Every structure is written in structure tokens, then in C-alpha cells.
């Protein structure tokens, strides 16, 4: 069985694939100081609750945008799974071209998403990943990664608004009933929610105009579901994009080594 670890700046996903389907998924808050042993204690309990144990996990793949955490995640695989993990950006071949000025600067999550989208959706693509940052990535019809846009995430923007303005409270992000708020909370929710919808629609329109070709838009990430039904600019909401990409990278690398 495969243990796939996808670490973002805010959350870390641990998912188990049995060769046919994903049978378990868990999330933890990302903490770059967490040791391999601490991960193991936490993960062993969740595996036990799912009727699993470390012994059934015979492979591991890691994607992380937190460089200081990779050492401990790698040690988790080595000590408790007794395997050498595939690490995106180190020893894992993705099989896609990275067509940007500095390929080494492309985030692991963005490249994994590119592959996860390409193997399902035909043609040229725009992949929107809504997390700590909101990224808009352009994927060519042949799967090549051709760059994109990075904007602050919606939660980061809401937190900055609260922190920088003394009289503005911390509020939950949700879709307001109307655009014009009649109190402070409603006005803040509207500004952030509909502001992000406008950001998404505006950047998609500009990317398509610059590329001058039909493009399919896929949204993924922790807060992408907030925008479901709020805009017609997004063609598909796909929460499994990243782990699908990790699974495909694992399969490609395993096949190349046999």
C-alpha cells in the first residue's frame, strides 16, 4: 500500500492507497518542527482506527512546500515504513516539461496538480488551487507546466484585514446573501468573498485572452468549494487533483524502476 503525503503551508494530508482506491485520508495542521517520531505516534493511532498498521505500507511519496519539514517526513518513511520515499523535487521523475524561466522555483504542489489535471482533462488547462495562497497555473495540452499567477489566499486576506484594522473583527468566510453588507461583518464577508470571485473571474479572463485559445478551468484546494455555484468561470471542482497526481507520479516511477 502507498502512503501519500501532501504538505501545504497550512495543512498536511496523509492518504493511503491500496492499489485500487484511496481507503483512508487524514489531515493535520502543518508544523515544521514536528519530528518523525511525533508524526509516527499520531499516524499509528489513525491507522489503527482504520484497521491498518505501518506494516502494510510498503511505499511512500512526499510533496511538500515546507522545505524544513521534508527531513522529518523522509525519516518517518525510513524508520516506520522501512522504505525510501519518493520526494517531489528530489528523487521523483514527473515526466512533464516545466517551461518557466527558473524551473527549480516551481512549487511541488503546483507541478503535482499539473499532472493530476493533465491525466484527466484534455486540452489546455488553468488549474486554480485555493489554499494559503491562491495559484492559477497554466498547463499545456501536452501536460507541460507553463507558469501562472500567485495571489494571497482568501483566509490570509481575511486575517490581514482583521490584524491591520483595529475595529474590524475576525469573521468566518461564507457566501453572503447580498453584495452590499448592512453591517460590518456582512460588509467584510462580501468584500472578501465577492472580491475573490472577481479575482478568479478577472484572472481567468486575462489568461484566456493572453493565450487566445480555449482552456478548461479546474479548481482544487481546501477552500475551493466555497466558490462552487458562485461563478461560471470554473468548469470543474476537483478536490482529488493533488493526490491523483501523486499516485500517477508514484506509478510512473515504480514502472521506470522495474
Provide the grid cell at 87: 520526494
In angstroms, the CA 91 to CA 164 distance is 42
In angstroms, the CA 142 to CA 73 distance is 32
Tell me: is residue 8 an annotated ligand-binding position. yes
Tell me: is residue 30 an annotated ligand-binding position. no
Tell me: is residue 7 an annotated ligand-binding position. yes
Active-site residue identified among 18, 58, 101, 109: 109
Instruction: List 98's β-bridge partners, or say none.
Output: 145
Tell me: is residue 107 an annotated ligand-binding position. yes
Quickly count helices (H) and strands (E) in the chain: 6, 10
In angstroms, the CA 60 to CA 58 distance is 7
Tell me: is residue 72 an annotated ligand-binding position. no
Tell me: is residue 11 an annotated ligand-binding position. yes
Q: What is the DSSP string of 88-137?
A: BTTTB---S-B-SS-GGGS-HHHHHHHHHHHTTS-SSEEEEEESSEEEEE
Tell me: is residue 13 an annotated ligand-binding position. yes
Tell me: is residue 123 an annotated ligand-binding position. no
Q: Is 109 a catalytic residue?
A: yes
Tell me: is residue 6 an annotated ligand-binding position. yes
| Known binding positions for ATP | 6-13, 132
- Known binding residues for substrate: 107-110, 184
**Which residues are documented as binding site for K(+)?**
129
Q: Which residues are catalytic?
A: 109
Amino acid at each position: 500500500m502507498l502512503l501519500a503525503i501532501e504538505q501545504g503551508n497550512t495543512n498536511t494530508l496523509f492518504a493511503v492507497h491500496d492499489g485500487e482506491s484511496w481507503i483512508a485520508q487524514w489531515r493535520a495542521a502543518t508544523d515544521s518542527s514536528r519530528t518523525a517520531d511525533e508524526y509516527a505516534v499520531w499516524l499509528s493511532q489513525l491507522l489503527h482506527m482504520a484497521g491498518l498498521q505501518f506494516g502494510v505500507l510498503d511505499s511512500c511519496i512526499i510533496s511538500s512546500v515546507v522545505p524544513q519539514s521534508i527531513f522529518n517526513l523522509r525519516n518517518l518513511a525510513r524508520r516506520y515504513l522501512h522504505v525510501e520515499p519518493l520526494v517531489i523535487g528530489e528523487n521523483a521523475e514527473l515526466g512533464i516539461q516545466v517551461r518557466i524561466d527558473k524551473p527549480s522555483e516551481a512549487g511541488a504542489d503546483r507541478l503535482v496538480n499539473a499532472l493530476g489535471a493533465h491525466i484527466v482533462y484534455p486540452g489546455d488547462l488553468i488549474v486554480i488551487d485555493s489554499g494559503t495562497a491562491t495559484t492559477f497555473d497554466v498547463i499545456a495540452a501536452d501536460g507541460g507546466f507553463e507558469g501562472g499567477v500567485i495571489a494571497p489566499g482568501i483566509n490570509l486576506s481575511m486575517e490581514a484585514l482583521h490584524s491591520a484594522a483595529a475595529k474590524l473583527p475576525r469573521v468566518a468566510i461564507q457566501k453572503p446573501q447580498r453584495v452590499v453588507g448592512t453591517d460590518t461583518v456582512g460588509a467584510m464577508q462580501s468584500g472578501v468573498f465577492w472580491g475573490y470571485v472577481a479575482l478568479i473571474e478577472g484572472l481567468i479572463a486575462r489568461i484566456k485572452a493572453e493565450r487566445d485559445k480555449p482552456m478548461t478551468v479546474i479548481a482544487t484546494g481546501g477552500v475551493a468549494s466555497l466558490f462552487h455555484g458562485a461563478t461560471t468561470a470554473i468548469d470543474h471542482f476537483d478536490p482529488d487533483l493533488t493526490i491523483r497526481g501523486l499516485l500517477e507520479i508514484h506509478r510512473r516511477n515504480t514502472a521506470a524502476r522495474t
